[in-house]
Structure 1
């Protein structure tokens, strides 16, 4: 809503009611337009900008509830105050569920009506200001974390974003490789251009070339029209090649040529088309191993790996987990009021840090949503976390955790010993005598070890 006087549409099939409401509102310096039926409402809305609607429930033809439903379906954002001489609680509840701002009975109390109008217009103005502010902010979520690894990534992004250098982002699934790519684009001089994403693993090999480079009409069966590929769509912007390690050898060769020549040829075409696109690639694979296995071109690797950025798994940066969990819970609360009263206890956050998170940030987000919905109380504690988030670890993962967490030889030795005893007790169904015999120690020593390491079934 700008500085102009607000426009209010008064809808009622009785002319006397419309005249009465017009007089009241124009006296308060509002601009008023009228409609006597649902059909006329939408005819006027095709030409007029409206800030508020006073909508009668009982009208000939389309009634007020039907009009309100259609307004919401067609994404009209202005508030609606329902007015009815036949008002009852059921109708008021239904109107509110459909999105009405308020419900007033006829004949309307003058002060009550004007207060509702002012409140509705104030809310509309604030909503519009918020939308304008949000439209000026980047839609890319913040990279959360203050661990040394995340600080290094943020610093690298700030440094390389201003250049056109190609970037290769590596890391396990769910670590946030796409988010890194989006922030490089957002902070670059190309931010006003397109950010075009291609998931190389999700597109069948026979279609990937057409997806990347486009095709001419009639290039192959089903090519009824010319198609612009992702390289051309990203012209002036950024092309993000996700899961590059899954690209076929043939597609690798053509991508290499496109990078060398800064030009592409559409499938079925012969003309070279120049493209100005910055390429950021990502993979969860070790491309050096893929090169040695003959699955990835070494020359393409060197073209892509100008600036390497590795995003570590959550188990390598556990100190970031509480901030990530709280931020995601806040995000859920913004989307759904069910999450607004829920929070983590310090013990709950500490318990989150102890989980393995083989699915990384993606798994953590799912767990936070599950905890927010299913936790017994509004405070998510350690017991909630342990009962609802525990995931199995591979043996090698558990050893990696010990290596990451323990900084002294004694600490590692004791933790490894505890892990060994737990494993053997589980293998022997917690029969202590049988376990002691299996690992060749005395039963009394077994009890002492269990007491020392606080091991209980």
Structure 2
């Protein structure tokens, strides 16, 4: 059976109820005398000398289990410290799988505002209020709130966001087109701006749809080569028998079908930038030939006798772990160190805290530039909460596609939760969970522990905005040093 929990701040009226002529007129005691709960979680910012006598009195009035937490607030009206305390306690209750009721009547207006914010978004709570005149009653909050605050997209950039709404990336892409308020992404933008000024090879790592080509074009457009060609190539699409011709070109008559001279990608990108996407897909024999070009700066077209010099900046991208590929003998280590001078590792969308609804609004805004029917379309607060709850394995590309489908279903001014749910795909789940392994076939328990650690520590770090102390607390570890030891042991970055 689901445990019912009441959560409330202790207010001045509550403290006075223990010595009052009408003790049941105070919010907490009157609520507990009217409704039944399995547990009561109280937050108190008053000195223990005042709260302890009240708690002893309250426990005598009710049979409910009561837990009280002393919270050191900056002040009773400081929103930040109130938020941190309330969020922490509600998260603990949520992890117990309890049904949460929040009493709004006790505490300051700032405390009440934070209860409504959290109870309407992260914790799906019901609200209660208690007054001497009306007694105890359930409160209906007649509006919805999105779980993230997002500034209007029109204030974020002065340029078009077409690279987010098309399969390809705008040729004019710049760093201001990279929409983010996430500290990790902001740091990556800064690093990319530095790399743009240095004519060195760049390797961009990240899952499919994380914006690798967007970064590559922005680097090119901010570099000294900006007025020269930017040539983008998908290495995974190379036919084995035509790789040399596609990369280095060929001469007329070099092979059957070669009816004219043809420039290869290196020649097309001469003096500019060659972007080699899906670089980890290159066959080993191609890696050898590419290494020579990068070392010596010369190519030999198929069917040619003389070498040709080329001046090309290389930017590569991959979703693969190239160090693992080197370990497995699938990728040349000498080629890796040739292309991995400047390295950018783009996080997946699910780890970009604060960016998901920001990007959703920006994507929808840009879609409206292409389809006037979407001009005034918005995303409802509840729909944004559905968006926030998704993992987005396809990242920004998947988010855009989902919004596009949802906008087609939506007949109202705002995209609803039903529109978003209908636009989402049901993904098959892995039937073998960590707790369902067949031990008769042998299990590697260290690998299982490693998988758990590598899954939850990054989530806790993202949730705590990089604070190891807060992340350690979320994970039930003693302190941040214990967390650091776990990260070192299991190679978590």
Give the TM-score category using the shorter length.
0.5 to 0.7
CA distance in 2, matches of 1:156, 1:301: 20
After superposition, the Cα gap between the structure-2 partners of 1:398 and 1:224, relative to the gap in structure 1 and judged at 3 Å, is: farther
More helix by share: 1
Matches of 1:138 and 1:288, distance apart in 2: 31
Q: Name the CA shift for 1:401/1:249 in 2 (closer, same or farther; >3 Å).
A: closer
Matched residue SS, 1:201: helix
Give the direction of change, closer, same or farther, for the CA distance of 1:177–1:201 in structure 2 (3 Å limit).
Answer: same
Q: CA deviation at 1:341?
A: 2.4
The yes-or-no answer on 1:259 pairing with 2:294 is yes
Match of 1:139 in 2: 172
Residue 267 of structure 1: CA displacement? 1.0
Q: Cα distance, 1:351 vs. partner? A: 2.1
Trace 1:277-292 onto structure 2 (pairs within 5 A).
277-292=312-327
For residues 201 and 171 of structure 2, the distance between their equivalents in structure 1, rounded to whole angstroms, comes to: 22
CA contact (8 A) 1:205 1:247 kept: no
Q: How does 1:8-47 map onto structure 2 within 5 Å?
A: none
Partner of 1:24: none
What corresponds to 2:396 in structure 1? 361
Looking at CA atoms only, which structure, 1 or 2, has the larger radius of gyration? 1
Partner of 1:388: 423
1:213 to 248, 255, 265: 248
CA distance in 1, matches of 2:419, 2:351: 23
Partner Cα distance (1:383, 1:409) in 2? 37
Q: Is the 8 A contact 1:357 1:391 kept in 2?
A: no
Residue 332 of structure 2 is aligned with which of 297, 309, 314?
Answer: 297
CA RMSD of aligned residues (A): 2.4
Query: 1: CA distance between counterparts of 2:334 and 2:223?
Result: 26
Aligned length: 278
The offset of 1:206, in angstroms, is 1.3
Identify the residue that residue 198 of structure 2 maps to in structure 1.
163
Task: Confirm or deny: 8 A CA contact 2:171 2:217 kept in the other structure.
Answer: no
Distance 2:312 2:368 in 1: 38
Preserved CA contact (<8 Å) 1:174 1:359: yes
Write the distance in 2 (CA, Å) between the matches of 1:347 and 1:221.
Answer: 61
Matching of residue 240 in structure 1 with residue 272 in structure 2: no
Is 1:188 aligned with 2:244? no
Contact 1:355 1:390 survives alignment (8 Å): no
Q: 1:181, 1:261 → 2: CA distance? A: 23
**Structure 2 CA distance for partners of 1:152 and 1:242, relative to 1, 3 Å:** same
The alpha carbon displacement at 1:248 in A equals 1.2
Give the drift of 1:228: 0.7
CA-CA distance at 1:292 after TM superposition: 1.3
Q: Is the 8 A contact 1:348 1:382 kept in 2?
A: yes
Does structure 2 conserve the Cα–Cα contact (< 8 Å) formed by 1:166 and 1:278? yes
Q: Secondary structure of the equivalent of 1:216?
A: coil
Which residue is equivalent to 1:176? 211
Task: Go from structure 1 to structure 2 and tell me whether the alpha carbon gap of 1:411 and 1:386 turns closer, same or farther (over 3 Å shift).
Answer: farther
Q: Distance in 2 between matches of 1:390 and 1:211?
A: 37
For 2:456 and 2:405, locate their aligned partners in 1 and report how far apart those are by CA, in whole Å: 28
Equivalent in the alignment of 1:29: none
TM-score by length of 1: 0.57
SS class of match (1:196): strand
Superimposed CA distance per residue, residues 199-245 of structure 1 (whole angstroms, 9 cap, x where no aligned partner): 11012111111111001111111111111111011111000011111
Does residue 327 (structure 1) correspond to residue 362 (structure 2)? The answer is yes
Normalised TM-score (structure 2): 0.53
Closer, same or farther: CA 412–376 of 1 in aligned 2, 3 Å: farther
Deviation at 1:389? Answer: 2.1
Q: Report the CA distance between 1:375 and its aligned residue.
A: 2.4
**CA deviation string 1:255-311 (max 9, x = no partner):** 100010111111111211111110001111111111111111110000000011011
Is the 1:216–1:269 contact (alpha carbons within 8 Å) kept by the matching residues of 2?
Answer: yes
Match of 2:374 among 339, 355, 367: 339
Q: Distance in 1 between matches of 2:179 and 2:241?
A: 38
For 1:96, the equivalent position in structure 2 comes to none
Write the distance in 2 (CA, Å) between the matches of 1:211 and 1:190: 23
Distance 2:406 2:355 in 1: 18
CA–CA separation in structure 1 for the residues paired with 2:290 and 2:207: 24
Could you list the per-position Cα deviations for residues 2-47 of structure 1 after superposition, in whole angstroms to 9, with x for gaps in the alignment? xxxxxxxxxxxxxxxxxxxxxxxxxxxxxxxxxxxxxxxxxxxxxx
Give 1:381 deviation, angstroms: 3.2
- 1:374 to partner: Cα distance: 0.8
* Alpha-carbon distance between aligned partners in 2 of 1:243 and 1:252, rounded to the nearest angstrom: 13
Quick check: 1:166–1:305 contact (8 Å CA) kept in 2?
Answer: yes
Deviations 1:121-156 (A, max 9, x none): xxxxxxxxxxxxx9xx96327111111121012101
